[in-house]
Amino acid sequence: MRFQLFSILFTLARAVNPKDVKISGPTEAKPGDNITLTCSTSNSNPKAEIAWFKGGESVEALYTYSPPSPDGGWTTISNVSIPIYESDRSIIITCQGVNKGLGESKVASHTINVIQPPGRPRIYKTSLNMTAGHSQQVTCTSTGGHPPATLQWYKGNKKVDSRMETKGNMVTAELSLVATPTDNGEVYRCEAKNKAISKAYTESITFHVLFAPPNVNITVNPQTLKEGQRVNLTCESGSSNPSAKMTWFKDGVSIPSSSNYTLPGDNRGKRAVSVLMLDLTSELDNALYTCSAQNGAVKKSVHDTITLQVAYKPKFIENPGEKVTVVEGKSTSITVKAKGNPDQITYKWSKNGSPVLTTKGKVSVDGAELSFIDVSRKDKGKYEIEASNKEGTSTLNVELDVQYPANVDTPFSWIMIGEGELANLECHIDANPLEESMVQWSHESADKMSQLGERAERAFQDNKSYLTIKNVTAADAGLYFCTVDNEIGEATNRSIFLIVKHKPDIDLSPQIAKAASNKGETGKLICRAKGAPNVTFSWSREGRTITNETEPAKYSVVYNQVDMMTWESILLVKDVQTRDYGGYECVARNELDDERHTVRLDITSAPEPPIGLHVVNFTHDSVTLTWIPGFDGGYEQSYKIRYIRVGSDNARYVEVFPKNMTIFTVTQLALGTEYAFAVAAHNVIGESNYTTETVRQETSSKDPVSQVFAEYLKIILHCYYYMISFFLSTFFLSELNAE
């Protein structure tokens, strides 16, 4: 009993509480692992007991033992096995050492971090393509994993910095790039790694960078260019992605290429090649060709330009045409201009194969200019100019056309044709210019040509004009004119008299059908006839022939040719006595026949009335009249016109002046009024009756002065209208702008 008490007291006297408790073992584990932890206490008396807890729940130890401590007492060691599950993230294990004798305990905790592999990285980017020079954000993400994954970007094997961010169980690494052509086709890799895996998870992306060609270059083959050659212009762009579109321009205008292809380029791009094939002409000298390489994806382009230098012989770029026209007597020049490459050009002028000789004050040569002063028709002809440079010689022919007025000639001045025959009239013309339309045939009688109708035929050949009249009649006789007007100077004409054979036709005009003379004076009797061939006359009185030899003291006969077909014989009766008054027979004859007429010699008297009064023109206040004189009674006669407003009895008279005129204009008449006109003749003896047939004529009802005034007034009113319209338009526009 004592011993036991002593033992108890001794034990109590030696009781020691463990100073600490320690847990040893792994601090990390993977799902599926069984982790063994060891908990040991320091020296304890009595023996300490160990209890295990996981998250507050008791865990049974694998085994526990308490070996003696060298310091006395005991240490307690306990092992426990902890299974690791997928759902575990961090496990807290608690070991409690309890000294029941003393009623005290020590606690130690141990944390096991459960490591899990991260989620495989995923890469996100805003676009499949990147444009060089533009920034691009590419994000790599990894979800889950314990501890969270560490993300790392690589370009090839080289690390690339990125911005890391963790949100919840997601880790992101944002890569910010300014794309360059070198990034095209490059593989960027994102690695996700933590302690749970020995080999990092990877995801990669290949960048497609769009970039424009940095340059474009034109090469020429062959380098020396000459007209007639074929040349290739090759345009090659720098590398681009996608391939550049090549466009050719000539002097700013788009033209098609001959061929296009591509070649491999830097940074996995393509070099575009475009070939333009040209057949060289002088027109391409100094032509500006531009090649443009455009990458539509990045909307950028580059270009190169080349100016062709094409060697060629001179070309005439300015000339007066095939013909230079000048009027004779004027001055002119033939000026040409040639262009060539090289541009050192020499000129030579020739005419008909011979060099042009300069003549002082007449012809001069100054390079490409040939000058003429006071041009004559001798200068007319074809001139040739040669233009030469190192590439060759070109020639140009220019005709100098010297124009001059017409010179008209006829091979004969008259022709005689029988009735029913064919009359050929011709004229020879020297003129420049000369066309058939410039030649006109006319007759001294204005309406004769129209009367000929289809009987007249015209022809033109070899500078000769022909007029052929078929089935000629006596009425066709007369003076025909060949008139040429080439608008150089005045119109020129020559006449041909057509004489038609016919028997004499005595003129029975009142003026010469009679004669008058006072006693003691000389009476003048005229017998005039038309005929062909020549007409001769004979006079007789009371059957007795009168000639110059019959009674020279009493009679004198004069023979005249009035015109080509008109002849006359004048019988002068000297010292007229009563017995001399009466009829004198005139016989006109030619080879075809004869005609007779008796001319009476009377004493002087008042004139006979005029005949054939008619109107030739009228205006608003005038009427022009003409008439045929009657027999003058042996003295010079004058005329008086009587005119009466129709419906009125008030006649007015006007003397014709000059007094021998047979055409006269009556003026100061009323507007739109009808008048009746008559004419009478008078001489020193007396006055004839007025013409038996009066002529009526109404003046014009339109006053030209009033018409002109009305037109001017209309113009003025139009001007005022447009001025007012313009003013109002301007006013309203200004008002609208003000609002």
If you average pLDDT over residues 593-612, what whole number do you get? 95
pLDDT in tens, 330-371: 999 999 999 999 999 999 999 988 899 888 878 999 998 999
Q: What is the pLDDT of residue 350?
A: 94
Whether 101 and 45 map to the same domain: the answer is yes
Check if the beta carbon of residue 599 is closer than 8 Å to that of residue 582: no
CA torsion through residues 449, 454, 455, 456, sign:
positive
Q: Do residue 512 and residue 562 come from a single domain?
A: yes
The encoded tokens of residue 548 equal 């110059």
Q: Is the pLDDT of residue 702 over 90?
A: no
Please state, in angstroms and rounded to a whole number, the distance separating the CA atoms of residues 515 and 631: 8
- pLDDT at residue 601 tops 90: yes
Average pLDDT score over residue span 434-447 = 94
Going by C-alpha positions, the residue among 73, 117, 106, 114 that lies closest to residue 90 is: 114
Q: What's 525's domain CATH number?
A: 2.60.40.10
- pLDDT band for 708, please (50, 70, 90 cuts): low
| pLDDT tens digits along 153-172 | 998 889 988 899 888 889 99
The percentage of residues in the chain with a pLDDT greater than 70, rounded to a whole number, is 94
Task: Indicate the pLDDT class of residue 5, thresholds 50, 70 and 90.
Answer: very low
Residue bearing the bigger pLDDT, 563 or 679: 679
Note the pLDDT tens digit of each residue in 187-225: 889 999 988 888 989 998 888 889 889 999 999 999 999
CA nearest to 145, candidates 308, 30, 305, 1: 30
Q: How far apart are CA 243 and CA 237, in angstroms?
A: 9
Residue 528: what pLDDT?
A: 97
* 692-697 long-range Cβ contacts below 8 angstroms, 24+ apart: 692/609, 693/613, 695/613, 695/614, 695/615, 695/625, 696/646, 697/615, 697/618, 697/623
Of 57, 92, 114, which marks where a domain is finished?
A: 114
Q: What is the pLDDT of residue 4?
A: 45
CB 680 within 8 Å of CB 694: no
Supply the pLDDT for residue 731: 59
| Whether 108 and 30 share a structural domain | yes
Q: Are residues 533 and 549 in the same domain?
A: yes
| Among candidate residues 58, 47, 52, 54, the one with its CA nearest the CA of residue 18 | 47
Q: Which of 80, 77, 36 is nearest to 62 (CA)?
A: 80
Nearest 5°: CA angle at 406, between 405 and 411? 155
Same structural domain for residues 585 and 511?
yes
Q: Kindly provide the residue ranges of all beta strands, DSSP E only, lying in 507-565, ordered along the sequence.
A: 514-516, 523-532, 536-541, 544-546, 555-561
Banded pLDDT at 735 (limits 50, 70, 90):
low
What single-letter DSSP state applies at residue 232? Answer: E
The total of structural domains in the chain comes to 8
Residue 46: cis peptide before it, omega within 30 degrees of 0: yes
What is the model's pLDDT at position 638? Answer: 96
**Which of 404, 436, 460 is a domain's end point?**
404
185 and 238: one domain? no
Q: Is the pLDDT of residue 2 over 60?
A: no
Let me know whether 469 and 496 are in one domain.
yes
**For 642-677, how does the pLDDT look when each residue is reduced to its tens digit (9 = 90+)?**
999 999 989 999 999 998 899 999 999 999 999 999
Q: What are phi and psi of 121, to 5 degrees?
A: -65, 145
* Tens-place pLDDT, residues 515-539: 999 999 999 999 999 999 999 999 9
Under a CB-based contact definition with an 8 Å cutoff, are residues 522 and 601 in contact?
Answer: no
With vertex at residue 400, the alpha carbon angle to CA 396 and CA 405, rounded to the nearest 5 degrees, is 165
Clarify whether residues 264 and 329 are in a common domain: no
Considering the domain architecture, whether residues 383 and 455 belong to the same structural domain is answered as no
Q: Are residues 70 and 50 in the same domain?
A: yes
Q: How confident is the model at residue 137 (pLDDT cuts 50, 70, 90)?
A: confident
Same domain, 107 and 173: no
Q: Going by C-beta distance under 8 Å and a sequence separation of 6 or more, which residues neighbour residue 577? A: 519, 520
Pair (624, 682) in one structural domain: yes
Longest CA–CA separation in the chain, Å: 241
Q: What range defines the domain where residue 569 resides?
A: 507-602
Task: Kindly report the average pLDDT of the chain as a whole number.
Answer: 89
Residue 398 burial (10 A CB sphere; 0-12, 13-18, 19+)? buried
The C-alpha atoms of residue 498 and residue 695 are separated, in whole angstroms, by 37
Give the pLDDT score at 618.
Answer: 96
Q: Is the pLDDT of residue 8 over 50?
A: no
Hey, what amino acid is at 622?
S
pLDDT of residue 10: 41
- Cβ(464)–Cβ(429) below 8 Å: yes
Nearest to 695 by CA among 637, 632, 628, 623: 623
549 Cβ partners below 8 Å, 6+ apart? Answer: none
Q: Is the pLDDT of residue 592 over 70?
A: yes
Structure tokens, 458: 């015209």
Where do we find the tokens 């230079």?
324
- How do beta strands 129-131 and 208-210 pair? parallel
Task: With residue 6 as reference, give the H or E element that holds it.
Answer: helix 2-14
Q: How confident is the model at residue 9 (pLDDT cuts 50, 70, 90)?
A: very low
Q: Is 107 helix (H, G, I), strand (E, B) or coil?
A: strand
User: Is 176 or 619 the better-scoring residue by pLDDT?
Assistant: 619
Chain segment 573-584, per-residue pLDDT in tens = 999 999 999 999
Cis peptide before 320 (omega within 30 of 0): no
d(CA 45, CA 97): 12
Burial of residue 266, with CB atoms counted within 10 A of its CB: 0-12 exposed, 13-18 middle, 19 or more buried: middle
Closest CA to 588 of 664, 643, 533: 533
Other Cβ atoms less than 10 A from the Cβ of 6: the count is: 10
Read off the tokens for 448. 């004769």
Say yes or no to pLDDT of 6 above 50: no
Structure tokens, 138 = 């590419």
Name the domain boundary from 404, 435, 455: 404
pLDDT (mean) for 229-257: 92
CB 549 within 8 Å of CB 503 = no
Q: Is 166 helix (H, G, I), strand (E, B) or coil?
A: strand
Strand partners, 205: 188
